[in-house]
Structure 1
């Protein structure tokens, strides 16, 4: 039995679906009602990382874990790793980020992820890290502006990023969970090309068959929006991450998807075509 966490997120959902297609899988979810992966071999367990009792129940009889943690303040990786060690789990595959291995990345979120990886290394549980680049699915945040006005407003529209389809990240994670020879390995995962926000806007325009306009978002306006939405250290981390991207730090393409799965990484155009409905124009107001 394999355990999947984060199954309501873009990567965990795909990991759970891939595993469920091949055999039984258990899902740990804070809100089981939000889990969309269902089937005769899927067991959904209610629980959260801070509740050791629910962790122990979820880990009982489990041979491997796919771990997604998002809180920058809670020691969730340490909690899960400790419970996994006690349960005799033989493999823990953690979703991490490529910035962890980049010396110039020292923002709050990256430092936390480095610390989380170190906690897992020290836990004694055999581990694999899947270090993903920016998800293509982050582009869904543009959907309201595209639907209503055909406009994309984003920061640093000419900065390249080798963004990756969450489905490809999931495929790498499943290969690490179910294959051999992955213990103690850290896999960087990118898409097949470095692409800018202007490029993505153009690809979406082609896929949707209608004109879209890109408008550069001023830095101060972007900062205000981020600080209004997130705690200050997290918002500042996003700003610093954007600056690193503008400097070219996120443009590197790596062959991990093909090497571990045998298939090429999906292009942004493929992702856009598969998610075109999310960007469909709003119907005109009646009246």
Structure 2
């Protein structure tokens, strides 16, 4: 039995869709009604990292689990791993982040991810770490201004990021979950096929939409103000520090891991954008 967490999130929903038929799977979600695309044979159960009873129920009979957490500096990983170990889970595949491998990355989010990786490695269970670069889908945050104004606003528009399609992360995750022994004790950095800048992404979106888009550089203080409406102050500062690392070239490296593990090249930003054009199209 495979347990999937994070099934309504960016990567988790793609993992659910990518599951091959015949795999015995259970999907845990705070709101099970929001789970979409699960196989007819999948079991969907309510579960919350803060509710030990729900974790015990979700983990009963599970051998392999996909772990996605988002509570920065919280104890979600510790709670889940404790329950998983008690339930006899043999292998945990964790969604982490590429920044953990950068010795110059010392922001709050990266320190938290490193700590959660350490918890898993020390758990006594088998483990695999998936470390993606930024999700291509992060550019969906541009959709409102693209639809209304034909404008993309972002920090450091000429800095490159080897961002990755969430579908590629999901395909790798499914391969690991269905053959965990082959990947035991491995950590995989996942990127797209090339590094792209926000200016280049803006141009590609404009070409696909058939309308000119303008890029406007955000000043750091403006970015801080915008992000403060969505994130706590410590997370905002971590995001700003992360953006500085990108400006300095820390996120431009390209890995061939998707090709090596799936047998096909990673999807490009244009590939991703072609499937999401309605989000950027004026109503």
- The interval holding the TM-score normalised by the smaller chain is over 0.9
Q: Aligned Cα RMSD in Å?
A: 1.1
Separation of aligned partners in 2, 1:274 and 1:153: 22
Q: Could you tell me how far 1:34 is from its partner in structure 2?
A: 1.4
What residue number does 1:19 align with?
Answer: 19
Q: Answer yes or no: is 1:62 the counterpart of 2:66.
A: no
TM-score by length of 2: 0.97
Q: Deviations over 1:65-93 (max 9, x none)?
A: 00000001321111111111111111100
Task: Please tell me whether the aligned partners of residues 205 and 273 of structure 2 are also in contact (alpha carbons under 8 angstroms).
Answer: yes
Q: Deviations over 1:222-280 (max 9, x none)?
A: 11112232111111000000000000000000000000110110000000001111111
Separation of aligned partners in 2, 1:21 and 1:276: 29
What residue number does 2:165 align with?
Answer: 165
Task: Please tell me whether the aligned partners of residues 154 and 215 of structure 1 are also in contact (alpha carbons under 8 angstroms).
Answer: yes
Q: Could you tell me how far 1:31 is from its partner in structure 2?
A: 1.1
Gaps of 5+ in 2: none
Q: How many residues align?
A: 282
TM-score by length of 1: 0.96
Q: Answer yes or no: is 1:225 the counterpart of 2:240.
A: no
Task: Please tell me whether the aligned partners of residues 64 and 91 of structure 2 are also in contact (alpha carbons under 8 angstroms).
Answer: yes
What residue number does 2:206 align with?
Answer: 205
Q: Could you tell me how far 1:20 is from its partner in structure 2?
A: 5.5
What residue number does 1:32 align with?
Answer: 32
**In structure 2, the residue corresponding to 1:181 is in which secondary structure?**
helix
Counterparts of residues 190-269 of structure 1 (less than 5 Å) = 190-269=191-270
Task: Please tell me whether the aligned partners of residues 2 and 63 of structure 1 are also in contact (alpha carbons under 8 angstroms).
Answer: yes
- Classify 1:22/1:211 alpha carbon distance in 2 versus 1 (closer, same or farther; 3 Å): farther
Separation of aligned partners in 2, 1:132 and 1:80: 21
Gaps of 5+ in 1: 283-287
Query: Once superposed, which parts of structure 1, at least 4 consecutive aligned residues long, lie more than 3 Å away?
Result: none
